[in-house]
Amino acid sequence: MLMELLTAIGQWLRPYSSDIALALVASALVIGGNDINKLIKKQVGNAHFVIRTLIFILVCTFGYGALTVVLTNVLRTQLGLLSASTLALVILSAFAALGVMAQRKNQI
């Protein structure tokens, strides 16, 4: 019965795989973005203000944008390879894991 439920959920979710992949990637970047920014700030903290600003602009606009596009496509492709029941389980688990990560970082 559980497998039938997971299969039904997976079949219902499959048409939305692209949107789900984007939501997962965007959520992960929001949760991890602060850590990435801190790492970059540590690396360029002593640079001139103009250089730091340019790096910040490049990372935030092109870096996060490119990561979003590339990782969304990769994730969408991988989700497409899963059976319906596995798809449902993976999606539910991924969102649960992101929720736990957000909670641990006091973001919710």
What number is the average pLDDT over the span 6-17?
A: 96
Instruction: Report, in angstroms and rounded to the nearest whole number, the Rg of the chain calculated over CA atoms.
Output: 18
The domain total for the chain is 1
> At a CB cut-off of 8 Å and minimum separation 6, what does 94 contact?
24
- Is the model's pLDDT at 93 over the cut of 90? yes
Which structural domain, as residue segments, surrounds residue 69? 2-104
- Determine what percent of the chain is predicted with pLDDT higher than 90: 74
pLDDT tens for 56-69 read: 899 888 999 999 99
Q: Tell me, what's the pLDDT at 106?
A: 82
Q: How confident is the model at residue 108 (pLDDT cuts 50, 70, 90)?
A: low
Q: Is the pTM of the predicted complex or chain greater than 0.85?
A: yes
Q: Which residue has the higher pLDDT, 107 or 26?
A: 26
What number is the average pLDDT over the span 28-55?
A: 90
Q: Tell me, what's the pLDDT at 84?
A: 97
Per-residue b/e over 8-18, b at no fewer than 16 CB within 10 Å? ebbeebbeebe
